[in-house]
Amino acid sequence: MTKLEKTNDILNILDKLYPNPEVPLQHKDAYTLLISVLLSAQCTDERVNKITPSLFKLADNPYDMMKYSVEEIREIIKPCGLSPMKSKGIAGLSKILVEKYNGQVPQTFEELEELPAVGHKTASVVMTQWFGKSAFPVDTHIHRLAYRWGLTNGKNVEQTEKDLKRLIPESKWNKVHLQIIYFGREYCPARGHDWRVCPICKKYMRNSLR
């Protein structure tokens, strides 16, 4: 079986399990999605969804967020981890959005990635999930699963993104990104993984991991 045939088989499994995956982070617009994705770095979506209602009750747009200091923002988002960096990022990008973009989230990778604390993965999520642009966000979890399934050599997330984009039709990138996230949580965790009950790994996992 070729790698492309394996990929198509995996996509069929994902489609059967998650035919209509939804964005797991609660949001109402591009700004709240951007902030939520930023907060999700090294933090679970579940925890982020518990914190953002309190944050967005105070400020759900860059104009209101600018009214609060970095320290005030940090106190609210502490449970998400990396709060010093994230709070500075939220305050800094909110100021830039107001001063440079009239309070709107820009719609290009270049402009998004110039914002404080916004990397390629965060920009990719906003671009595909809100603006509907072609992107395949790859975080450490998707990188781990793609390597486990033999779809990439596992060198780094950048290489994994290139490999997945080459194997998966562009029209499916948005959906497959979400499907892999849900599949990883339910069947293919980093710890305590039982390949014998995983619908994909029991067929394709590397022998060295069995």
Show which residues are catalytic. 121, 139
Inter-CA distances, 139 with 15, 61, 72, Å: 21, 26, 28
State residue 181 phi and psi, 5-degree precision. Answer: -60, -50
- Alpha-carbon distance 168 to 180, whole Å? 13
Give the 3-state secondary structure of residue 35. Answer: helix
Dihedral, CA of residue 5, residue 11, residue 13 and residue 17, to nearest 10: 180
Looking at residue 186, what DSSP letter applies? H
69 C-beta neighbours (distance < 10 Å), count: 11
The kind and range of the H/E element at 188 are: none
Q: CA-CA distance, 206 to 210, in Å (whole number)? A: 7
Give residues with Cβ within 8 angstroms of 51, minimum separation 6.
39, 76, 77, 79, 80
